[in-house]
A and B are shown apart, each in its own frame.
Chain A
Amino acid sequence: MATGSKWVNNGQAFAVDQLDKNTASGTPTYFGAWGSGSTTPTVGDTALGSENAESRTSIVAGSMSQPATDTVQWIYAITATGSRTVQETGIFSASSAGTMYIRIVHGSLSLESGDIVTYTVTLQLKDTSE
C-alpha cells in the first residue's frame, strides 16, 4: 500500500505564510479534496491522482489553527454523495484547479453515500539548525 504524505511544490512558501502572515500576499484560501489515486506522493505532484466528484470543502478560518510556533493544522470533512473509493486527500488553493499544497495517500476506503471522512492535517516545520 503506497501510503504517505508530501508537502508539494510551493508548499514551503505556503507554510511560511501561515506562520508569518507578513510574508503572505492577500488572504490565502484553502480547500480540502479527496480522490481514489494511490500513487506514492511526490514533491512534484500538482493534483490528486484521481479526484472524486464531491465539491472541495472550503477550510474556513476557524478550522485552521497554529497549535505550536512551528506547526499549522487544517481540519475539514467531506461527505460521500455516492459509492466511492477514497485513498487520497489534498489541500488546494481554490475550489477547482488551483495549487495543491499537500497530498496524502492513506489506506483504501470503500464508502457509501452519506459516509463522512474528517481529515486533520498537521504540517510541522523543522528548523535545520536543530
Chain B
Amino acid sequence: MTLRFVALLSVFLCALGVGQEAFAYLDPGTGSMLLQLLLGGIAGALMIVKLYWARLKDFLFRRKSKPRDRTEQ
C-alpha cells in the first residue's frame, strides 16, 4: 500500500514541479519532503474549501438579499 502511495506521490510531484529547486548543505530526507507535500496539500485543500465555502455563502446571501434590494429600490 505504501509502495503504491509513494508511486502516486512521485507522479503527482512530477506534475507539480513548479517550485524553486532547493539546495542546502543539509539533507532534508525524503520522508520529510513527502510529508510536507502531503501536509501542504492538505492545508492547500482546506484553503480551497474555505475559499469556496466563503463564495458559496456569499452566493446564497446575495440570492436571498436580492429581492429585498429590489423592493427597497
Query: Do A and B share a complex?
Result: no
